[in-house]
Chains A and B, each alone.
Chain A
Amino acid sequence: MINTGELLLEVEGLQKSFGERLVLSGIDLQVVKGEVTVILGPSGCGKSTLLRCLNGLEPVQGGRISYHGQDLAGPQVNWREVRQRIGMVFQNYELFSHMTVLDNILLGPLKVQKREPKEARQQAEQLLGRVGLLDRKDAYPRQLSGGQKQRIAIVRALCMNPEIMLFDEVTASLDPEMVREVLDVILGLAEQGMTMIIVTHEMGFAKSVGDRIVFMDQGSICEIAEPQQFFTQPATERAQHFLDIFQY
């Protein structure tokens, strides 16, 4: 299962620092089409920063990110174009508060991709139906629960028809009883073969959704393994230590 098929994204020696502090020190990672990569690691290990670099939200200081022959770590990247193909969902479910659910979802397809309104709307409604929120399409974000908002944020990213989806701790700010409904949506995407990179703290979810686990600590990747392997017999001591924290 690991690393077979078409290579979509290749990260080589990626370096990122905030001022003097090096937060990513030489990341190497390859993402294959249809693969679900779950990134685990203690807080501050650089996993969220890595995702943000892949979407151009953080400038990088060194290395290469190769995507369809383009180097996303280089100068003059057309991020507007890349971001249409690499979707991202954040921890703070930031829907645009002055727009209805449907307008939130359609902003990108209509204004950025300049798609046909009727066709885009159909897709939006179909996606909303799939996450069970079609009846909320005219609601405003303030009228929705955290879990609903996050499912809609996922739909908003999906409606751009991205090739890769990045999930940055999307359940971390949710009430516990709402985590499940969001994770189920992501699980559904995995079943349909969506290529995803997921940063999460939900260990059970990581185990069931991931094709492989990438364990990071202190700005570098310590270990890449299949979930079964990682959760039962991690190769590194640091990973073992990390897993111990989650067991009571």
Chain B
Amino acid sequence: MQNSGIEVLFEGSNFERLLGGLLVTIEISFVSIVIGTVLGIVMGLLRTLNVKPLQALLRLYLEAFRIIPILVWLYVVHFSFTPLLNIDISGETTSILVFSLWGAAEIGDIVRGALQSMPKHQEESGAALGLSRGQLYRYILIPQAIRRMVPGAINLATRMIKTTSLVVLIGVIEVVKIGQQIIELGVIKAPTASFWVYGFIFILYFAVCFPLSRISRRVERRWQN
């Protein structure tokens, strides 16, 4: 036990620092997911309207995030846009910006899909009972759309959490970066430090993402049609 290297995790404030790094990861993901969801719902609704130029524009926007790697987006915004526009924003803000825009694109597509897949008969059956427009949305269309959206949205959330590991490359000190710092300092005393530190980070990511994917699976099974 003395020289296993695991003690590197608990030396000084290492443990707290790693958890602090995780907090940055969670913060970037959480804020981006919230902003992305709000923007995405608006975008999804816009995409169900039949306005040709708007369709093309939003489609292009979605494809831009699907085709261009997030890392490139981070670089472009952090190293090109901000100096070009002469604004000074932190790497963390840049990350939130990029992740929010990405989330908006994907959530927009999920919302659009859910709304467009709603059978017309559901609406007519409700109307035939005398439900008002508002009641139709409240009791029938929105609850069903949400059921169709949740699995995709949770899947996106876990993808975003995992992808935040890239923000280290624009200088954000999050959990992976702190891990690297700890390893660099500790590797001379404990050659196996990287195993323990990355192992611990592995567990941290798992602890955050696994419950989400479980929720998604349960929700999916419960609402299966």
Contacts and interface: CB of A to CB of B under 8 A. Distances in A.
The yes or no verdict on A and B being binding partners is: yes
Contact of A90 (B124, B135, B147): B124
A220 interface: no
B147 A98 contact: yes
A154 interface: no
A112 interface: yes
B215 interface: no
B135 A112 contact: yes
Interface in A61-106: 79-81, 83-84, 87-88, 90, 92, 94-98
Main secondary structure of the interface of B (DSSP, over half): helix
A113 B127 CA distance: 13
Interface residues of A, number: 26
B144 interface: yes
A79 B124 CA distance: 13
B121, B125, B130: which has the most chain A beta carbons within 10 Å? B130
B139 A80 contact: no
A156 interface: yes
B12 interface: no
Contact of B128 (A88, A95, A96, A142): A88
A241 interface: no
Contacts of B119: 92, 94
A160 interface: yes
Contact of A81 (B126, B130, B131): B130
Contacts of A87: 128
A55, A94, A142, A153: which has the most chain B beta carbons within 10 Å? A94
Contacts of B143: 98
A108 B121 contact: no
A157 B126 CA distance: 10
B90 interface: no
Interface in B11-34: none
A156 B122 CA distance: 14
A97 B225 contact: yes
Contacts of A111: 131, 135, 139
A92 B121 contact: yes
Contacts of A108: 129-131
Interface in B103-135: 119, 121-122, 124-132, 135
A35 B135 CA distance: 33
Contacts of A79: 127, 130
A122 B146 CA distance: 31
A78 to B, nearest CB: 10
A20 to B, nearest CB: 21
Contact of B127 (A83, A107, A142): A83
A87 B130 CA distance: 9
Given A81-B130, A107-B129, A142 B224 contact: yes
Contacts of B126: 96, 107
